[in-house]
């Protein structure tokens, strides 16, 4: 079960990381208010998208417009004109009259008449402004307070007309009540007072219903740490054109209106003239392109009155929100949904013959369409919920979805970059580009092409690895292969594959160059020179030194993507690949052997000798050349042979011949005549041709070790000193076990002492 769980966790690792991470980031940003303007914008847009409603005929607005101001004898209007207006309105028997003309001093003439009207109109409410209970910058007029008409205040027919603006200047909230002192006392708002008069006039119970209005909290919906003093609510604006019946002051004074227009209605009187600057921005005045209008203060109060009337009388629930934990789960759900879609489509277009660019395009196209579909679904669900009276988060889940998708895409891009980087460890940048970006780069199939093939192999590494722990073997291989791969890439070679401790590389494919063979030989020389660095790193770990042989051959091969549509590799096939391996098998540690076609293709190649050999599978002998340097690249192999010294004692060795890597049964003897730490001259009766591999058996003699210290050597075609006409051969040690190395060094030290 744990194994299955681990597999599931790994399979969905991207989703499990990206989704919660994106949600956490967005929730934190939301809590500090970073997303507040965007969420306000979404709310405003939903309000504007809402279907048009009917005009609320329970409300009439008497607006004092520019024409009215121009016709008045003075401005502000005299108490006489205001009293006359109120008398005409009262005569139509409205349910409530709201005077949103804040004035706390007489405006003669006609003040006594106005006072009489105030006293004789019990359903009249006058407006005033308080500076208490609303944070600076959120209340209209800041901290400035204006008292209502004194008579109405004494009659307790006054209420605050404060409007609450958000930090972007938009009025989205209304007031049920506003705090007026430090003791926590509050007064009902102007709009609620008028609504209550309407309910009482029509005998509609309202107290319990109004108590159920969802109160505004500091983190209400998309708000973050907002001032929620008093009792506020989110204003559900009525979207209709017009929202209310609006008449001008002189329409009433000139008695041009229907005598029944205001009967049993709420009448609000206020200034609508633009010159008086009693205008504010509402959600209905905003668009994604900016503000395109403003609404007068008296009309905003009319919207608030309409909100209360509709809430109580029509059952309109207003705008509600979820609790914060549910909103967080909603955001998390969409973040996970976005990451799931992105994660599931990450392999889109990843099979077949498409180039990497096309694969990326397909993935991004599908990802874009899927993300847009998810975004459309989110907006659709959120808008549907809004029509049902719920303001649920839309911007946070939208951003969380986008962030989660971006995290997945980023992870995939990083993985692709890492793959490209890993690919680039074995191929040069232009080769990687050819494979990943060109139409032919990943196409299955092959083509005939002349290339230079390189095969390098560690000499005697199988014997070394038998004496080491697997972890130590891996350490050696990682150091060796990593260093050699860097050199091959430097010379624009293509690593076909690692074969244990061997490397097969190509020069001339997939990118064909003018000097592929020359670069290949120069690369081989630098690789041999790098072995000094490799051995320094290996011996620092307490591990034995290693040696490498390199073979190169130039010829026609078939090169391309080999395999199937589900799994393929870039590689080469052909007899010239096999011939390269044969040539490499003739090398000893530190040696580079090249074929004749390679030698002829490299004018600057320096050699120290040549040899004719008959590799298996080749009908005629071929000539191979021992490379010592490449003058054009100023590369030269350092001599690694020690001086052969005669030994005083009679040392007999036994050996067996290896044929095709199989050890023969016959045992032959040889006498060591001259010796160095890496080779020896021996006299033997057996005729051994150059390049023959032998295994030396435990040496015989009193001073020789008793353990099985057999080691390997290769017969080389090098001059030897004659010894009374006996057959003398030179052997180069290819694998020297530690015990045999001690024995050899002791013999060599003795020979050096004799010479001295």
With tokens 């001073």, the residue in question is 703
Same domain, 439 and 526: yes
Instruction: Identify whether 417 is part of a domain.
Output: no
Question: What is residue 502's three-state secondary structure?
Answer: strand
Domain end position, chosen among 412, 447, 476: 412
Instruction: Identify whether 79 is part of a domain.
Output: yes
Same domain, 722 and 610: no
Question: What is residue 566's three-state secondary structure?
Answer: coil
Angle ∠(535,539,544) on CA atoms, nearest 5: 85
Say how far apart CA 298 and CA 100 lie, in whole Å: 6
Domain end position, chosen among 314, 342, 376: 314
Same domain, 358 and 455: no
Instruction: Identify whether 145 is part of a domain.
Output: yes
Angle ∠(736,742,747) on CA atoms, nearest 5: 105
3-state secondary structure 426-485: CCCHHHHHHHHHCCCCCCEEEEEEEEEEEEEEECCHHHHHHCCCHHHHHHHHHHHHHHHH
Say how far apart CA 88 and CA 79 lie, in whole Å: 14
Instruction: Identify whether 43 is part of a domain.
Output: no
Domain interval for residue 76: 51-278+297-314
Question: What domain count does the chain have?
Answer: 4
Give residue 641's pLDDT.
62
Look up residue 690 and give its two tokens.
């150059």
Same domain, 211 and 328: no
Same domain, 348 and 239: no
Considering only CA atoms, which of 684, 689, 694 is closest in space to residue 734? Answer: 694
Instruction: Identify whether 46 is part of a domain.
Output: no
Say how far apart CA 636 and CA 606 lie, in whole Å: 9
Same domain, 587 and 541: yes
Instruction: Identify whether 420 is part of a domain.
Output: no
Same domain, 584 and 526: yes
Give residue 457's pLDDT.
92
Instruction: Identify whether 140 is part of a domain.
Output: yes
Say how far apart CA 531 and CA 525 lie, in whole Å: 10
CATH of the domain at 690: 2.40.10.220
CATH of the domain at 555: 3.30.70.1230
Same domain, 305 and 382: no
Domain end position, chosen among 412, 441, 462: 412
Question: What is residue 544's three-state secondary structure?
Answer: coil
Say how far apart CA 322 and CA 390 lie, in whole Å: 8
Say how far apart CA 33 and CA 218 lie, in whole Å: 11
Tell me if the bond preceding 721 is cis, omega within 30° of 0: no
Give residue 249's pLDDT.
96
Give residue 491's pLDDT.
92
Instruction: Identify whether 37 is part of a domain.
Output: no
Say how far apart CA 49 and CA 158 lie, in whole Å: 36
| CA distance readout (Å), 594 to 502, 513, 719 | 17, 19, 21
Strands (DSSP E) contained in 524-621 are 548-563, 568-573, 592-595, 605-613
Give residue 706's pLDDT.
41
Q: Where are the alpha helices (DSSP H) in 72-109?
A: 79-91
Same domain, 664 and 708: yes
Same domain, 577 and 624: yes
Same domain, 97 and 242: yes
Which pTM was predicted?
0.63
Give residue 7's pLDDT.
73
What's the average pLDDT block by block, 10 residues per block, for the chain (756 residues)?
A: 73 87 95 94 93 94 95 90 96 97 88 95 93 47 71 93 91 88 80 96 90 90 89 92 93 95 97 91 79 87 96 91 95 92 66 48 71 90 94 95 87 72 60 56 68 92 84 93 92 88 90 87 95 93 91 91 66 89 89 94 90 83 92 83 78 84 82 85 86 75 45 81 78 79 80 76
Same domain, 74 and 15: no
- Given a contact cutoff of 8 angstroms between Cβ atoms, the answer to whether 618 and 578 are in contact is no
């Amino acid at each position: 079960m744990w194994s299955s769980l681990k597999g599931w966790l790994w399979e969905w690792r991207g989703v499990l990381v990206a989704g919660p991470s994106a949600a956490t980031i967005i929730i934190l940003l939301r809590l500090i208010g970073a997303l507040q303007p965007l969420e306000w914008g979404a709310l405003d847009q939903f309000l504007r998208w809402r279907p048009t409603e009917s005009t609320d005929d329970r409300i009439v607005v008497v607006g004092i417009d520019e024409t009215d101001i121009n016709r008045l004898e003075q401005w502000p209007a005299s108490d006489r004109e205001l009293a006359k207006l109120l008398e005409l309105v009262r005569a139509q028997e409205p349910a409530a009259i709201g005077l949103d003309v804040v004035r706390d001093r007489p405006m003669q003439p006609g003040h006594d008449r106005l006072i009489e009207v105030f006293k004789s109109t019990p359903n009249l409410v006058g407006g005033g402004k308080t500076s208490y209970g609303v944070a600076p910058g959120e209340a209209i007029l800041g901290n400035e307070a204006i008292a209502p008409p004194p008579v109405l205040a004494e009659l307790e027919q006054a209420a605050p007309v404060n409007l609450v603006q958000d930090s972007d200047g938009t009025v989205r909230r209304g007031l049920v009540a506003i705090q007026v002192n430090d003791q926590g006392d509050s007064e009902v708002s102007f709009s609620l007072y008028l609504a209550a008069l309407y309910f009482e006039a029509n005998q509609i119970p309202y107290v319990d219903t109004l108590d159920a209005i969802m109160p505004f909290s500091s983190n209400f919906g998309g708000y973050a740490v907002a001032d929620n003093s008093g009792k506020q609510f989110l204003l559900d604006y009525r979207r209709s054109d017009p929202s209310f019946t609006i008449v001008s002051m002189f329409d009433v004074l000139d008695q041009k209106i229907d005598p029944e227009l205001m009967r049993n209605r709420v009448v609000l009187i206020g200034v609508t003239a633009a010159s008086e600057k009693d205008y504010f921005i509402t959600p209905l005045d905003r668009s994604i392109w900016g503000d395109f209008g403003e609404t007068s203060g008296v009309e905003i109060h009319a919207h608030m009155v309409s909100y209360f009337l509709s809430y109580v009388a029509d059952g309109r629930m207003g705008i509600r929100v979820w609790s914060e934990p549910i909103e967080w789960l909603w955001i998390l759900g969409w973040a996970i949904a976005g990451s799931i879609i992105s994660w599931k489509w990450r392999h889109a277009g990843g099979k077949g013959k498409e180039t990497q660019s096309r694969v990326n395009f397909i993935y991004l196209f599908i990802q874009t369409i899927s993300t847009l579909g998810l975004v459309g679904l989110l907006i659709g669900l959120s808008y549907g919920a809004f029509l049902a009276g719920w303001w649920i988060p839309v911007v946070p889940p939208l951003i969380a979805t986008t962030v989660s998708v971006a995290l997945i895409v980023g992870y995939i891009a990083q993985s692709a970059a890492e793959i490209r980087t890993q690919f680039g460890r074995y191929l040069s940048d232009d080769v990687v580009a050819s494979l990943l970006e060109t139409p032919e780069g990943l196409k299955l199939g092959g083509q005939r092409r002349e290339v230079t093939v390189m095969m390098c192999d560690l000499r005697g590494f199988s014997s070394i690895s038998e004496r080491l722990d697997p972890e130590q073997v891996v350490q050696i291989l990682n150091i060796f292969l990593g260093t050699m791969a860097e050199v091959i890439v430097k010379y624009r070679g293509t690593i076909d594959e690692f074969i244990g401790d061997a490397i097969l590389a190509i020069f001339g494919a997939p990118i064909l160059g003018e000097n592929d063979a020359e670069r290949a030989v120069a690369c081989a020389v630098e690789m041999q020179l790098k072995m000094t660095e490799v051995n320094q790193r290996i011996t620092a770990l307490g591990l034995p030194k290693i040696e490498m042989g390199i073979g190169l051959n130039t010829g026609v091969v078939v090169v391309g993507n080999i395999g199937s549509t589900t799994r393929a590799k870039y590689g080469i096939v052909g007899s010239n690949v096999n011939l390269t391996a044969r040539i490499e098998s003739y090398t000893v540690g530190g040696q580079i052997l090249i074929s004749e076609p390679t030698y002829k293709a490299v004018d600057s190649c320096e050699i120290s000798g040549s040899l004719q050999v008959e590799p298996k599978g080749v009908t005629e002998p071929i000539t191979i050349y021992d490379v010592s340097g490449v003058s054009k690249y100023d590369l030269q192999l350092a001599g690694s042979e020690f001086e052969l010294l005669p030994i005083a004692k009679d040392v007999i060795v036994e050996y067996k011949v290896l044929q095709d890597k199989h050890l023969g049964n016959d045992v032959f003897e040889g006498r060591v005549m001259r010796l160095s730490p890496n080779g020896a001259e021996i006299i033997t009766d057996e005729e051994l041709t150059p390049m023959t591999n032998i295994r030396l058996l435990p040496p015989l003699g009193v001073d020789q070790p008793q353990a099985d210290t057999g080691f390997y050597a290769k017969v080389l075609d090098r001059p030897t000193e004659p010894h009374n006409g006996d057959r003398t051969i030179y052997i180069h040690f290819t694998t020297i076990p530690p015990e045999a190395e001690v024995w050899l060094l002791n013999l060599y030290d003795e020979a050096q002492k004799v010479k001295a």
